[in-house]
């Protein structure tokens, strides 16, 4: 006689907190969106880099930004590329141009994927995954 089991729940992949991203994730746990700021020329950047592409300075610090911006580009995922996302298809992956000029890739929630438009005003929200990982996501800005 065979034993019947329920299907296993597949979790989503989560990022690892590497030393170069520790301050980014600490900020997310506090509800702050963090980017790197070059100490040589002041240019903001994300993702983290060892060297500034603008002036080649290797000094940088993490600073909070507003978390407000607009949808620069987006893609609607209709296919399941990882089983952990099967229940969310279709979902949107967006490139947000923050008001400070940095482009940031994330998910846009709180809107049907086919209602998303380039130029749409958005703001950051934070989703707590576990005690260490909180992920920034975006939603349409209120009143837009």
pLDDT tens-place string over residues 98-139:
999 999 999 999 999 999 999 999 999 999 999 999 999 999
Backbone angles phi, psi at 30, to 5 degrees: -85, -5
- Residue 11 lies inside a defined structural domain of this protein: no
Q: What are the residues facing 63 on neighbouring strands?
A: 35
Domain span at residue 91? 19-140
CA dihedral 45, 46, 51, 52 (to 10 degrees): -20
pTM, full prediction: 0.88
Structurally, the chain folds into a number of domains equal to 1
For position 144, what pLDDT does the model report? 66
Helices (H), 2-129: 22-30
For position 32, what pLDDT does the model report? 98
pLDDT band at 29, cuts 50/70/90? very high
- Residue 76 lies inside a defined structural domain of this protein: yes
- Residue 31 lies inside a defined structural domain of this protein: yes
Question: What confidence tens digit (pLDDT) does each residue in 46-80 have?
Answer: 999 999 999 999 999 999 999 999 999 999 999 99
Residues 64, 17, 124, 119, CA torsion sign: positive
């Amino acid at each position: 006689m065979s034993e019947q089991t329920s299907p296993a729940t597949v979790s989503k992949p989560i990022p690892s907190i590497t030393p170069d991203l520790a301050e980014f994730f600490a900020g997310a746990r506090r509800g702050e969106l963090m980017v790197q700021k070059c100490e040589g020329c002041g240019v903001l950047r994300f993702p983290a880099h060892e060297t500034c592409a603008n002036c080649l300075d290797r000094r940088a610090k993490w600073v909070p930004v507003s978390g407000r911006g607009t949808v620069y580009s987006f893609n609607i995922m209709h296919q399941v590329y990882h089983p952990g996302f099967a229940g969310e298809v279709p979902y949107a992956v967006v490139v947000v141009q923050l008001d400070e000029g940095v482009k940031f890739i994330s998910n846009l929630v709180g809107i049907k994927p086919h209602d998303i438009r380039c130029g749409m005003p958005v703001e950051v929200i934070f989703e707590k995954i576990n005690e260490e990982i909180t992920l920034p996501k975006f939603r349409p800005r209120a009143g837009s």
